[in-house]
Amino acid sequence: MINLDAFVEIEGEGVRLTTQKNIVVSAFLNFLNQKTMYHGRQMRRNLQIDLNAQLLATQMRNFDSTNT
């Protein structure tokens, strides 16, 4: 569990985690490696992010601003 004392507010920049970073990084990597249902298939979250980023990039590349 992360203690609130581990966070420091930096004016104009937001909040920064000063200690216990290894706990957060480890938990986040475990979260990304979990499999969930994605379009009817079991797929790790990190792959889901990659696929959604590719889809967004394709949509942006094909975006026609003259039709808005």
Residue 50 lies inside a defined structural domain of this protein: yes
Q: What's the structural domain count of the chain?
A: 1
What pLDDT score does 60 carry? 93
Kindly report, residue by residue over 53-68, the tens digit of the pLDDT.
999 999 999 988 787 6
CA angle, 52 then 56 then 62, to 5°: 145
Instruction: List pLDDT tens digits, range 7-48.
Output: 888 988 898 888 888 888 999 999 999 999 999 999 999 999
**Rounded distance, CA 59 to CA 53, Å?**
10
Nearest of 44, 42, 43, 22 to residue 31 by alpha carbon: 44
pTM of the model: 0.68
Task: Please indicate, yes or no, if residue 44 is contained in any of the structural domains.
Answer: yes
Residue 48 counted as domain residue: yes
For 39, the domain range is 35-62
Q: How far is residue 59 from each of residues 11, 47, 54, 63, measured CA to CA in Å?
A: 37, 18, 9, 6
Q: How far is it, in rounded angstroms, from Cα 6 to Cα 14?
A: 14
Please indicate, yes or no, if residue 47 is contained in any of the structural domains: yes
